[in-house]
Amino acid sequence: MSWTKVLAADQLPTGKREVVKVGDRHILLLNHEGQVYAVARRCPHMNIKMTRGKITEDGAIVCPMHRSSFDLKTGSVKEWTPFPPVVGKMMGMISQEKPLPVFPIKVEDGSIWVDA
Ligand code: FES
């Protein structure tokens, strides 16, 4: 792992999202209430893009497909495949919970850096 400059800080104002490529990884950068986060672009459940995932009031990103939610800071699972009702819970029982990979970031010299 090493630090890579990925974006000018002013390209990611509050509420904005961008996908950047670091090595062979696609990373979703998002600015939520002034704090920048870097998470894997795809959900660890079935590899669906998280790019449009809703952000909850308690700081989790929600997968658009089966609505698993992951803490933005740690990537830990807050809820695993709750959707659709009944079927989602059954899917969750047969698939092991996996965290969403998250990456350290820093803002330095007007740029966003990711350690990936
Ligand atoms: S693909 Fe994300 S929760 Fe199923």
The string of DSSP letters for 48-88 reads -B-TT-EE-TTSEEE-TTT--EEETTT--EEE----STTHH
Indicate if the pLDDT at residue 1 is higher than 80: no
| Total of domains in the chain | 1
Nearest CA to ligand 1 atom 4: 66
Q: Residue 43's closest CA among 66, 25, 20? A: 66
Q: Residue 87 — pLDDT band, cuts 50, 70, 90?
A: confident
Q: What is the distance in A from the centroid of ligand 1 to the CA of 54?
A: 13
Range of the domain at 75: 3-115
Q: What is the distance in A from the centroid of ligand 1 to the CA of 109?
A: 36
Indicate if the pLDDT at residue 92 is higher than 90: no
pTM of the prediction? 0.94
What is the Cβ-side half-sphere exposure of residue 39, based on CA atoms within 13 angstroms?
A: 32
CB-based pocket (< 6 A), ligand 1 = 43, 45-46, 48, 63, 65-66, 68, 81
pLDDT in tens, 13-71: 999 999 999 999 999 999 999 999 999 999 999 999 999 999 999 999 999 999 999 99
CATH number of the domain encompassing residue 19: 2.102.10.10
